[in-house]
Amino acid sequence: MTAMQSPVGKPLDRVDGPKKVTGQAQYAGEFDAPGLLYGSAVSSAIARGRILTLHTEAAENVPGVRLVLTHLNRPKMAGENDAYEDMDAADGAPFRPLYNDRVLYSGQPIALVVAEDLEIARHAVSLIEVEYDVESHETDLYAQLDRAHDAPAELPEARGNVDAALAKSDQTIDVEYRVPVEHHNPMEPHASTVMYFPDGSLLIYDKTQGTQNSQAYIEQIFGLEGQVRVRAPFVGGAFGSGLRPQYQLVLAVMASLTLKAPVRVTLTRQQMFTFGYRPRMSQRLRMGASADGKLQAIEHSVIGQTSRFEDFTEHVAEWSGMLYHCDNVALKYSLVPLDVYTPLDMRAPGATEGVYALESAMDELACAVGMDPVEFRLANYTDFNANEGKPYSSKELRACYAQGAARFDWNKRSAEPRSMREGHELIGMGMATGVWEAMQMPASAKAALCSDGTLRVSSATTDIGTGTYTVMTQIAAAAFGLPVERVEFRLGDSSFPKAPLQGGSFTVSSVGSAVQKACDALKEKIWEAARQLADSPLAQGAVDDLRFVDGRLQLGDSPEHGMALEDIVATCGPIEAEVDGKPGEAREKYATATHSAVFAEVRVDEALGTLRVVRIVSAVAAGRVVNPKTAGSQIQGGVIWGIGQALQEETLIDHKLGRYMNHNLAEYHIPVHADSPELDVIFVEEHDEIVNALGSKGVGEIGIVGVAAAIGNAVYHATGKRVRELPITLDKVL
Amino acid sequence: MIPFAYSKPTAVDEAVKMAGPDARFIAGGTNLLDLMKENVARPERLIDINALPLRDVETTATGGLRVGALVPNSDLAWHPEVEARYPLLSQAILAGASPQLRNMATTGGNLLQRTRCYYFYDSAVPCNKREPGSGCPAKEGVNRIHAILGASDQCVATHPSDMCVALAALEAEVIVTGPGGERRIPFADFHRLPGDQPERDNVLEADELILAVELPAERFTTHYAYLKLRDRASYAFALVSVAAALEMDGDRISTARIALGGVAHKPWRVAEAEALLVGQLADQANFAKAADALLRGAQPLEHNAFKVELAHGAIIRALGEAAGGITQ
């Protein structure tokens, strides 16, 4: 007989797609309840100081207003720092909404108006006047560099002797790259709807990348152990903004506890600029190479901004010590605390900035040596991660270069800058390498064979638009030889088996492996149950003979020694298995990472400085791709974001006011369709039995990494001008 | 947003009678509603004019085109008469906003859209245009998108419209009505420079209503260009835009109109710059002279000095395209 083809590796349409396009998918700010109240937050106008008086009377007198919550009348909150340290907390003392009269940054929530409808709440907010004791603030990283302190990051030890190697190098560069503040701005703004039950327990619909993170945080800070359940069945994008519980969650819970009523708080687009962001950063690279193009030294020094209350760190410089072979490496990282909110992981955190600088500098050094940028990278290729002292479990980056270059027609590029043009436009072609870690976290899952023969699998993870519903369905269906229609994957509920935060490109690796393991455990339980049945055709045989094929359990290739799954549960009743998964021991001896090669073509109008990206090829090696369609979408989204990072995105700061000024999506630019180029995504074949049981490395981050460098390098190739500060707007090219 | 009363008159005189300083007319609402949500506009009464009979596009006795105030931007851009007789206008409209916004936005409303200055939109910070006398942090703040021409000590904002730049070049007239009856305002006089009254974008009185925009008889159907330079390919306001319209007599220019957007509190024209081109060859050197004249007296701020160079290049490019008679 012919077994059903495994659904893993197939471009399955999103299983949640129909719900999303028909409006049945409900997001955190859409759940309703009788008597639901609406909260609207008051944001501080100053960056630093103390609230002297909040004049709330006028707001309280607006008909329909039920409560104005401030630091003076909020419910009791935990006093110690530990309670506020969520799973993604940075070093320090996390921000506490409405905790006291201190203003720590501009835009900080300082009150919440709760009313019977949103318009009343927003109107009442406008009536609140605040008197501040204003203190002087600092928000400009570059004016405060002398206050930088060592970041609390575990950087790899320096190796070799950078200064000596630089002195002996035939070509050296010493360059500084700068990146601006960027805000996540997922399409769905942050929202929390809190359902209050008479026993004081709460069911919270939260926009989050970790239901159990929000649950534990709320339980800890309000002393509600065992009384909180958090659900996030659908999340309209997050990109890291939902890794930490955000203030709308705290405010909604405060109001709900105070009024013993259901409350929803949704942030405005403007307020989406009042919490975490990608930090502004300076990166200096000192690099040296021999005349034949061998890297001799890399020193990568990072200075980033953070808040006064937490030291936010990410992996910025590490990539410079692991991507190429180089014997003399020094990585440095320091932070400048400012009167701003703490930065927050944003898609490929650290790599987006760090690899941008490294890969731009690699291009500069390739030019200095006089080598083709691809050849230069190949000359310094390594299969060994010197940061960790371990070989890579797999690294098909050579194939990425080769296939990407072929698809792009890289050989048609002429080496000299300013050597290609058409009409008013100079043509530029550039490339860069991308890299991201292939991590795996502990995760749990439950698999159950229901009485109707449906396989139901669950885990507390979320689907932030990445395709988690779909790929987990595929993994479970493949494990059982079932059509995907007979599999239901449930997620986004803190009461489900434990899952890590959804981030870091480790969901498929972590939760997917747990799903597979739960399915394996369930198979054994089904067999044990089935073989006990009277006249069981499965009574004989060993575990190794079991086959799950076409909805049946059978021994070897003999259908006669088998039973349909629904017949088994019809007799035995539902069967379930829950497992805890953890990273495999095989990983310990290896470094694990995804790689990419990004090729970009730009056109620059010489007289006007206008710049457009016309073509991108991204060739990705990410192990086994569970679903090329959703994975392809991830890469495309990452690449387009990379175009935004390269050319458009920047949250502008008025340092006199200490405030972000372009806080809306008309003035904060991200690419529109008209900015999207011809975009080719290649998944390079990469076999890896070490990284995890699925051989799959995850693709959430890798798409954006390297894109800005490839574009910046293309701009240099087009114009001969090296722009070292993002975004590359036309005024910098003119 | 503050609570407001709402009414929807069906006759123009009825609407005008309702008008007053505490009221605002609303048509497409694409800008006003945003401003109300941000507490920048705080009208106590909204007068919805969508039921007024101001949706016609008709040829006038003198061969011009009268466009009703309620004609949506999309309809106007794609109107066969506009495409054939005023292609510059069509092109400018389509360079602005997004299709969704153009579907809602009206002709009259486009004239009245307010600046995109960051400070104007943020009611937590000072702004002389929003709160007269409160100050202008843009002058020494985040001012990359601000004015290089015609600004005052009190305000450095720009007018954001693309359509208005073309209307300025085409020398349209704005027909308004009020308690004193109808009046016609030449386009050049409709918008104002900020001076010491930055809160006033134009000369329309609080109790006046725009009825129509009237275009003079067709010209510039062959030699025209609208060039918009911005930070992304669509849905971004102009850093600099140029509406260029020429009439040629052989290889010499007989008439020139040049209006700039994104550089001042109103579409920017300089009579001398246009006069310089008359009778001249359509070449780069002459275009550069016109550009110099248009930009004379430019006073860039800390972050927008590039606009002077950008505008210079854009003027030359747009005039070149217009002279070439390129079908865009």
Residues B95-106: pLDDT tens digits? 999 999 999 999
Average pLDDT on A601-611 reads 96
Q: Which pTM was predicted?
A: 0.97
Question: Which of B127, B142, B263, B301 to mutate to test binding with chain A, by most A CBs within 10 Å of its CB?
Answer: B142
pLDDT digits (tens, 9 = 90+) for A619-631: 999 999 999 999 9
| Chain center to CA of B293 | 21
Considering only the beta carbons, identify the residue of A119, A647, A656 that sits closest to B137: A656
In the numeric block, the tokens 């995804």 are attached to A594
A618 pairs with which residues across the strands? A598, A681
The DSSP call for residue A13 is: P
Average pLDDT on A403-413 reads 98
Asked whether residue A3 carries a pLDDT value surpassing 60, the answer given is: no
pLDDT digits (tens, 9 = 90+) for B285-306: 999 999 999 999 999 999 999 9
Please, what is the average pLDDT of chain A? 96
Q: What residue ranges define each of the domains in chain A, with the CATH number in brackets?
A: 17-23+441-582 (3.30.365.10), 31-136+187-238+242-271 (3.90.1170.50), 363-438+590-733 (3.30.365.10)
pLDDT given for residue B260 in this prediction: 98
Considering only the beta carbons, identify the residue of B1, B231, B313 that sits closest to A669: B231
Asked whether residue A643 carries a pLDDT value surpassing 50, the answer given is: yes
- What is residue A46's three-state secondary structure? coil
Residues of chain B that touch chain A, judged by Cβ-Cβ distance less than 8 Å? 1-3, 37-39, 98, 116, 118-119, 121-125, 137, 140-142, 144, 229, 231-237, 239, 306, 309-310, 313-314, 316-317
Chain A residue with minimum CA distance to B36: A123
SS3 letters for A236-263? CCCCCCCCCCCHHHHHHHHHHHHHCCCE
Q: Rounded CA gap, A96 and A102, in Å? A: 10
**Secondary structure (DSSP) of A394-437:** ---HHHHHHHHHHHHTGGG--SSTT--EETTEEEEEEEEEEEEE
Q: Is A674 on the interface with B (CB under 8 A)?
A: yes
pLDDT given for residue A265 in this prediction: 98
Chain A residue with minimum CA distance to B2: A123
Side chain identity at A83, as an amino acid letter? Answer: A
Q: Rounded CA gap, A284 and B293, in Å? A: 44
Considering only the beta carbons, identify the residue of A607, A652, A673 that sits closest to B142: A652
Average pLDDT on A30-41 reads 98
Nearest of A170, A146, A193, A184 to residue A26 by alpha carbon: A193
- Kindly list the distances between the CA atom of residue B246 and the CA atoms of A50, B83, B228, in Å, as whole numbers in the listed order: 61, 17, 18
Side chain identity at A278, as an amino acid letter? Answer: R
Residues of B in contact with A664 (CB under 8 A): 121
* A248 Rama sector, left if φ>0, alpha if ψ -120 to 50, beta otherwise: alpha
* Residue of A80, A667, A701, A725 with catalytic role: A701
Q: Rounded CA gap, A394 and A384, in Å? A: 10
Return the sign of the alpha-carbon dihedral for residues A185, A186, A188, A189: negative
Q: Rounded CA gap, A254 and A259, in Å? A: 9
pLDDT given for residue A543 in this prediction: 80
* Rg of chain A (C-alpha set): 27
Q: Rounded CA gap, A494 and A201, in Å? A: 14
Asked whether residue B327 carries a pLDDT value surpassing 60, the answer given is: no
Q: Is A614 on the interface with B (CB under 8 A)?
A: no
Average pLDDT on A588-608 reads 97
Asked whether residue B328 carries a pLDDT value surpassing 60, the answer given is: no
A41 pairs with which residues across the strands? A112
> Is the Cβ pair A666, B235 closer than 8 Å?
yes
Asked whether residue A270 carries a pLDDT value surpassing 90, the answer given is: yes
Average pLDDT on B209-226 reads 96
- What is residue A675's three-state secondary structure? helix
CA neighbours closer than 13 Å in the CB half-sphere of residue B226: 26
Confidence at A35, pLDDT banded by 50, 70, 90 = very high
Q: Rounded CA gap, B117 and B264, in Å? A: 12
The answer to whether A401 and A374 have CB atoms below 8 angstroms apart is: yes
Asked whether residue A508 carries a pLDDT value surpassing 70, the answer given is: yes
Question: Which of B231, B240, B303 to mutate to test binding with chain A, by most A CBs within 10 Å of its CB?
Answer: B231
> Is the Cβ pair B232, A672 closer than 8 Å?
yes
Side chain identity at A350, as an amino acid letter? Answer: G
Return the sign of the alpha-carbon dihedral for residues A147, A151, A157, A158: negative
Q: Rounded CA gap, A245 and A238, in Å? A: 12
pLDDT given for residue A396 in this prediction: 98
Asked whether residue A544 carries a pLDDT value surpassing 90, the answer given is: no
Q: Rounded CA gap, A385 and B97, in Å? A: 49
pLDDT given for residue A1 in this prediction: 36
Percent above pLDDT 70 for chain B: 99
Considering only the beta carbons, identify the residue of B37, B231, B306 that sits closest to A648: B231
Q: Rounded CA gap, B314 and A654, in Å? A: 29
Percent above pLDDT 70 for chain A: 99
> Is the Cβ pair B124, A45 closer than 8 Å?
yes
In the numeric block, the tokens 């501009």 are attached to A106
Q: Rounded CA gap, A174 and B228, in Å? A: 38
| Contacts of B131 by beta carbon, 8 Å cutoff, 6+ apart | none
Confidence at A4, pLDDT banded by 50, 70, 90 = low
Residues of A in contact with B3 (CB under 8 A): 123
- Number of Cβ atoms within 10 Å of the Cβ of B19: 19
The DSSP call for residue A159 is: B
Confidence at A535, pLDDT banded by 50, 70, 90 = confident
Encoded tokens for A478: 């493949």
Nearest of A174, A150, A176, A361 to residue A283 by alpha carbon: A176
Considering only the beta carbons, identify the residue of A45, A607, A673 that sits closest to B313: A607
Encoded tokens for A127: 């009536």
Q: Rounded CA gap, A596 and A432, in Å? A: 8
Q: What residue ranges define each of the domains in chain B, with the CATH number in brackets?
A: 223-324 (3.30.390.50)
pLDDT digits (tens, 9 = 90+) for A455-480: 999 999 999 999 999 999 999 999 99
Beta strands in A622-698 (DSSP E): 653-654, 659-660, 678-683
Distance from CA of B231 to the nearest CA of A (A): 7
- Kindly list the distances between the CA atom of residue A526 and the CA atoms of A480, A487, A531, in Å, as whole numbers in the listed order: 11, 16, 8
Average pLDDT on A530-538 reads 89
pLDDT given for residue A556 in this prediction: 87
Distance from CA of B216 to the nearest CA of A (A): 32
SS3 letters for A516-573? HHHHHHHHHHHHHHHHHCCCCCCCCCCHHHEEEECCEEEECCEEEEEEEHHHHHHHHC
pLDDT given for residue B326 in this prediction: 61
Beta strands in chain B (DSSP E): 5-7, 23-26, 45-48, 57-59, 65-68, 173-178, 181-186, 209-215, 223-229, 240-249, 252-261
Q: Rounded CA gap, B76 and B84, in Å? A: 12
| Contacts of A318 by beta carbon, 8 Å cutoff, 6+ apart | A155, A156, A331, A350, A354, A387
Considering only the beta carbons, identify the residue of B122, B123, B229 that sits closest to A661: B122
Distance from CA of A78 to the nearest CA of B (A): 31
Nearest of A86, A156, A209 to residue A505 by alpha carbon: A209
Percent above pLDDT 90 for chain A: 94
Distance from CA of A710 to the nearest CA of B (A): 19
Chain B residue with minimum CA distance to A730: B231
Average pLDDT on B104-133 reads 98
> Is the Cβ pair A672, B38 closer than 8 Å?
no
> Is the Cβ pair B142, A653 closer than 8 Å?
yes
Residues of A in contact with B2 (CB under 8 A): 123, 126
- Number of Cβ atoms within 10 Å of the Cβ of B44: 13
Asked whether residue A663 carries a pLDDT value surpassing 70, the answer given is: yes
| Contacts of A45 by beta carbon, 8 Å cutoff, 6+ apart | A106, A130, A132, A659, B124, B125
Q: Rounded CA gap, A275 and A663, in Å? A: 12
